[in-house]
């Protein structure tokens, strides 16, 4: 788990995302190296609540409303249609770590 991907995941999620107990976290891509690491940690260490295949969903906004009825606190940004849908479902004072360029 040591390497560039783990450092990006750590810096983005912990330093920028600054998760707190009760936060609603949306990892938008579990396919890439950073997403796989994040999902592995959330699944094995913290237990995650659910997952969906965005390619099988007709309406990403409605899907996110179903999975995050209270809104999203931390969004692991992947861009494109997923970014647009996530932005519609973010809570106040949300955090969006940007991989490769921590903001």
Domain with residue 88: its CATH number is 3.40.50.720
- In terms of residue numbers, what domain contains 20? 4-95
Q: Tell me whether residue 19 is in a domain.
A: yes
Per-residue pLDDT band for 83 (boundaries 50, 70, 90) equals confident
Exposure of 76 by Cβ count < 10 A (0-12 exposed, 13-18 middle, 19+ buried)?
Answer: buried
Q: What is the pLDDT of residue 96?
A: 80
Q: Residue 22 and residue 66: Cα distance in Å, rounded?
A: 17
> Greatest CA span in the chain, whole angstroms?
37
List, for residues 25-53, the tens digit of each pLDDT value.
887 766 666 666 667 777 777 777 777 87
Q: What is the pLDDT of residue 103?
A: 44
Q: Tell me whether residue 103 is in a domain.
A: no
List, for residues 4-24, the tens digit of each pLDDT value.
666 776 777 788 788 888 888
Task: Tell me the C-alpha to C-alpha distance, in Å, between residue 13 and each of 19, 41, 55, 59, 63.
Answer: 7, 11, 25, 27, 23
What are the residues facing 26 on neighbouring strands?
75
19 φ/ψ angles, rounded to the nearest 5 degrees: -65, 145
Q: What is the pLDDT of residue 1?
A: 52
């Amino acid at each position: 788990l040591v390497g560039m991907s783990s450092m990006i995941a750590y810096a983005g999620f912990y330093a920028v995302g600054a998760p707190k107990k009760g936060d609603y976290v949306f990892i938008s891509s579990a396919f890439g190296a950073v997403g796989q690491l994040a999902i592995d940690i959330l699944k094995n260490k913290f237990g995650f609540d659910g997952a969906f295949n965005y390619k099988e969903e007709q309406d990403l906004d409605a899907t996110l409303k179903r999975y995050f009825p209270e809104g999203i606190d931390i969004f692991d940004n992947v861009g494109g249609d997923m970014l647009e849908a996530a932005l519609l479902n973010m809570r106040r004072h949300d955090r969006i770590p940007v991989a490769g360029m921590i903001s």
